[in-house]
Amino acid sequence: MRTDGKSAGLAHEDAAALGGGRTGEVCAKTVAQGNDESEAACYNDAHRVNDGIASAFNWLDSKTIVTAAGSVSQADAGTIVTGEGGTTNAAGQGMTIWLTGLSGAGKSTIASLLTDRLNKLGIAAEWLDGDELRRILGKGLGFSREDRFENIRRAVYLAEMLNRHGVVAVVSLISPYTEMRDYARQTLPRFAEVYVDCPLEVCEARDVKGLYAKARRGEIPSFTGISDPYEVPPSPELTLNTAGQTPEENVNTLIAWLTEHTSLRLNK
């Protein structure tokens, strides 16, 4: 895939090159073997990747020129842009809201609600979730420190691409190491680290996916909080306590923070 800003499209093989599930080698094989059902699944996965990334390009304003060669040029910063979904962003509003915390802390719940709220407020926002990213783009990645870092690198790559076109990226990844989150902070243009704080005992009692029980039985090695570290962020932009508050209260706190500290137009 081109990363020089000259190409606005993502071809099927580009999605595959990102390393996603059936979009990689397996796809090449199934397509070659002419297996219709698997082939359709491959293309669906590739298109999901395409949709996620290409949605960044839905927010280009009316002054944006899309050339026959597929290159784009963005109009002046501050212009209101309208996408198919009816959301609007001003160029230069792209930022990343990075939710970090233990499994079961509430990252996905908050990220999903926040993305919805932003979209309803007319802000183009995309949710990049750990589980989903790993399913589509995480081919071969486990949970060693190196693999987690690679996972974060891929998420940062996508977030940067979305940000470049004014889209707010809402990222929910455990991202357990300070070094990894600092990499994201240094790489992304506008970045807010949100610590989704919940005591391990509460996460374990929730055990949304039954993974803590498995980890305690020794069936999942290197499980964050049980047999692998989680480094509490030393200075996040915001901490949300999910043990004592509802998801809606947490999202209201986040929206209030964004209103005060960013240029997002949230008072509509």
Ligand X SMILES: Nc1ncnc2c1ncn2[C@@H]1O[C@H](COP(=O)(O)OP(=O)(O)O)[C@@H](O)[C@H]1O
Which residues does the annotation mark as catalytic?
175
Nearest to 91 by CA among 268, 263, 267: 263
* From the list ligand X, ligand PPS, none, partner contacted by residue 94 (C-beta under 5 to 8 A by kind): none
244 to 103, 241, 253: CA distances (angstroms): 17, 6, 13
Nearer CB in complex with ligand PPS: 90/137: 137
Query: Which of 35, 91, 85 is closest to 64 using CA atoms?
Result: 91
- The one of ligand PPS, ligand X, none whose footprint includes residue 92, by CB under 5 to 8 A per kind, is none
Strand duo 238-241 + 191-197: pairing: parallel
Name the β-bridge partners of 72: 66
Binding-site partner at residue 242 among ligand PPS, ligand X, none, CB < 5 to 8 Å by type:
ligand X
Instruction: Specify the residue, 119 or 250, whose C-beta has the smaller distance to ligand X.
Output: 250
Strand ranges in the chain using DSSP code E only, listed in sequence order: 65-66, 72-73, 80-82, 88-90, 96-100, 125-129, 168-172, 191-197, 238-241
Residue closer to ligand PPS, measured from CB, 8 or 49? 49
Q: List the helix and strand counts (H, then E) for the chain.
A: 10, 9
CA torsion, points 42, 43, 44, 47, in degrees to nearest 10?
A: 130
Rounded to an integer, what distance in angstroms lies between the CA atom of residue 57 and that of residue 167?
A: 9
Per-residue contact string for residues 227-266; x = within reach of ligand X by CB under 6 A: ---------------x--xxx--x----------------
Give 60 or 99: the residue with its C-beta nearer to ligand X. Answer: 99
Size of the site for ligand X (CB under 6 A): 17
CB of 149 to ligand X, least distance (A): 19
Q: Is 106 assigned to a binding site? A: yes
**Could you say which of 55, 88, 115, 172 contacts ligand X (CB under 6 A)?**
172
Smallest distance from ligand PPS to CB 93, Å? 26
To ligand PPS, the closest distance from the beta carbon of 52 in angstroms equals 16
Residues 212, 204: contact at Cβ < 8 Å? yes
Binding partner of residue 176 among ligand PPS, ligand X, none, CB under 5 to 8 Å per kind?
Answer: ligand PPS
Q: Could you tell me which residues are annotated as the binding site for ATP?
A: 101-108
Q: Which residues sit at the interface with ligand X, rule CB under 6 A?
A: 101, 103-110, 172, 206, 208, 242, 245-247, 250
Annotated binding site: 101-108
